[in-house]
Structure 1
Amino acid sequence: MKKFTLALAFLAASPAFAGEAITVYRDPSCGCCSAWADYMGQKGYDVTIIEERDVAARAIAAGVPERGLSCHHAEVGGYGIHGHIPAEIIDRVLAERPAISGLVLPGMPQNSPGMAPDKYGTLKVYSYAPTGVAVYSNE
């Protein structure tokens, strides 16, 4: 029984999607993109960075609305992740598996991961799909 309890405690302490592969497309001259990729690695994701000079074109091709563009685009678990989205919101979309194309956090909010050491305050993250855009999280 003691081993079972220890195993459960270990699982509870592990990141929800430890080892989940995420590919980050970033402009080679963008430092905050690297900071966000490092943050995702610290949250347990297996990060691959691909240098991409035209991140906007890649994002738009993936369905990201032009008015939601940010500085980097990522792919994880079949979803597009665009911008400085906190790991806990990505964990949630991977757990819930909604029928969306992905998530977008427009711009480069100063209180978001990769722009600040830690997220603070609220961030409005949107889901996007062929059917439209909707608020996914306002935390």
Structure 2
Amino acid sequence: MNLKTTSLLVSGSLLLGATAAQAGLPDEATMYKNPQCGCCNEYARHLEEQGVDVTIVDDAELGEIKQRAGVPHGLGSCHTIGIGEYWIEGHVPMEAITKLFEDQPDIDGIGLAGMPIGTPGMPGPQQEPYEVYSFTDQEDEPFMTLEP
């Protein structure tokens, strides 16, 4: 390999690395939750295991946070997380969060309604598909389905 080819390969690798870093998870998040909710704390620990430093706020008015985030009525969960430019509602598995930050769609965030068994922070094995939705201005659309 000649010097010019080597330089091009190194430059290309650096460019690809920069693109991957931009698409990666942010290193900080803020979780808004009820102070008595233990599963939320487990979800925060899960994010921290992925390298995300989580600040927990357990004295906020969750209804106001969810409305500000654009979470559709009736599709809420026990916690709401601000991470990067997005909101994450509930116990969304990392596969969906990774896709969100890779694709970077023009939405407010993604969510998983309720507290499904087997999701990060919730004990037990996954028993049914997880229907992750995207949302913008209190309107939802399917984002992805995660099969057991």
TM-score normalised to the size of structure 1?
0.80
1:134 aligns with 2:141: yes
1:85 to 76, 92, 95: 92
CA contact (8 A) 2:32 2:57 kept: yes
For structure 2, the residue ranges without an aligned partner over 5 or more in a row are 1-9, 11-16, 18-22
CA RMSD of aligned residues (A): 2.8
Q: Following superposition, which runs of at least 4 residues in structure 1 exceed 3 angstroms of deviation?
A: 16-19, 117-121
1:65 aligns with 2:79: no
Aligned length: 130
Shift, 1:61, TM fit:
2.2
1:101 to 98, 101, 108: 108
Task: Find the residue that maps to 1:67 and give its secondary structure.
Answer: coil
Aligned partners of 2:138 and 2:37: how far apart in 1? 31
Q: Deviations along 1:32-75, whole A, 9 cap, x unmatched?
A: 00010001111221211111353232112211011101100001
CA contact (8 A) 1:17 1:45 kept: no
Aligned partners of 1:106 and 1:125: how far apart in 2? 8
Q: How does 1:1-139 map to 2 (within 5 A)?
A: 17=24, 20-116=27-123, 121-130=128-137, 132-139=139-146
CA distance 1:135–1:54, change in 2 (3 Å) = same
**Residue identity (%):** 33
